[in-house]
Amino acid sequence: MTTPPLDLANLERPALESALEERGHKRFHARQIFRWIYKRGVTDVAAMTDLSRELRATLAQEFTLTTPAIVARERSSDGTEKFLLRLGDGRQLESVFIPDTPSMTFCISTQVGCAMACAFCLTGRMGLVRNLTAGEITGQVRVLAGALGMLDKKFNIVLMGMGEPLHNYDETMRALRMLNDEHGFAMSPRRVTLSTVGLLPALEKMAREPIMPNLAISLHAPTDKLREALVPLNKKYGVADIIDACKRFPLSKRSRITFEYVLLAGVNDSPDDARKLAKLLSGVKSKVNLIPLNAAPGIPFERPSDEAIDRFAQVLADRGLVVSVRKSRGRDIRAACGQLIVEGQKPSPAQRLAVALR
Ligand code: SAH
In the prediction, which pLDDT does 328 show?
73
Decide the pairing of beta strands 6-7 and 81-86: unpaired
Pick the atom of ligand 1 nearest to 196's CA.
8
Distance of CA 288 to the CA centre of its chain: 18
Per DSSP, the three-state class of 333 is helix
Query: Torsion over CA of 111, 113, 114 and 115, rounded to 10 degrees?
Result: -120
In the prediction, which pLDDT does 347 show?
43
Decide the pairing of beta strands 156-159 and 192-196: parallel
Report the alpha-carbon distance of residue 313 to residue 214 in Å, rounded. 22
Q: What is the DSSP string of 289-305?
A: EEEE----TT----PPP
Check pocket membership of 338 for ligand 1, CB cut-off 6 A: yes
In the prediction, which pLDDT does 348 show?
42
Check pocket membership of 288 for ligand 1, CB cut-off 6 A: no
User: In testing the pocket of ligand 1, which one of 262, 267, 331, 339 has its CB within 8 Å of the most ligand atoms?
Assistant: 262
Exactly one of 12, 62, 94, 260 is catalytic; name it.
Answer: 94
Closest C-alpha to ligand 1, atom 1 = 164
Peptide bond into 165 cis (omega under 30): no
Report the alpha-carbon distance of residue 344 to residue 354 in Å, rounded. 17
For residue 136, indicate whether it is catalytic.
Answer: no
Closest C-alpha to ligand 1, atom 9 = 160
Alpha-carbon distance values, 122 to 2, 28, 35, 158 (Å):
44, 45, 37, 18
Residue type, 299: I
In the prediction, which pLDDT does 350 show?
41
Residue 61, H or E segment: helix 53-62
User: In testing the pocket of ligand 1, which one of 218, 231, 309 has its CB within 8 Å of the most ligand atoms?
Assistant: 218
Q: How many CB atoms lie within 10 A of CB 89?
A: 8
Pick the atom of ligand 1 nearest to 299's CA.
22
Closest C-alpha to ligand 1, atom 13 = 218
- pLDDT tens digits, the chain, 358 residues: what are they? 567 799 999 999 999 999 999 999 999 999 999 999 999 999 999 999 999 999 999 999 999 999 999 999 999 999 999 999 999 999 999 999 999 888 999 999 999 999 999 999 999 999 999 999 999 999 999 999 999 999 999 999 999 999 999 999 999 999 999 999 999 999 999 999 999 999 999 999 999 999 999 999 999 999 999 999 999 999 999 999 999 999 999 988 779 999 999 999 999 999 999 999 999 999 999 999 999 999 888 899 999 999 999 999 999 999 999 999 987 777 777 777 767 766 555 444 444 443 333 3
Report the alpha-carbon distance of residue 159 to residue 331 in Å, rounded. 19
Interval between CA 317 and ligand 1 midpoint (Å): 23
Residue type, 266: G
- State the pTM of this model: 0.93
Check pocket membership of 196 for ligand 1, CB cut-off 6 A: yes
Interval between CA 52 and ligand 1 midpoint (Å): 47
Which residues sit opposite 112 in a β-bridge?
Answer: 130
Interval between CA 65 and ligand 1 midpoint (Å): 32
Report the alpha-carbon distance of residue 237 to residue 202 in Å, rounded. 12
Report the alpha-carbon distance of residue 63 to residue 58 in Å, rounded. 9
User: What do you get for the CA distance between the two ends of the chain, in Å?
Assistant: 50
In the prediction, which pLDDT does 356 show?
36
In the prediction, which pLDDT does 349 show?
40
In the prediction, which pLDDT does 339 show?
72
Which residue in 38, 33, 63, 58 sits closest to 48, CA to CA? 33
Interval between CA 45 and ligand 1 midpoint (Å): 38
Closest C-alpha to ligand 1, atom 4 = 160
- The vertex-86 CA angle with 82 and 89, nearest 5°, equals 155
Q: Are 357 and 232 in contact (CB under 8 A)?
A: yes
Check pocket membership of 118 for ligand 1, CB cut-off 6 A: yes
Which residue in 69, 158, 168 sits closest to 114, CA to CA? 168
Sorted by sequence, the CB contacts under 8 Å of residue 102 that are 6+ apart come out as: none
Give me the count of residues in the chain.
Answer: 358
Interval between CA 248 and ligand 1 midpoint (Å): 24
For residue 107, indicate whether it is catalytic.
Answer: no
Residue 20, H or E segment: helix 13-22
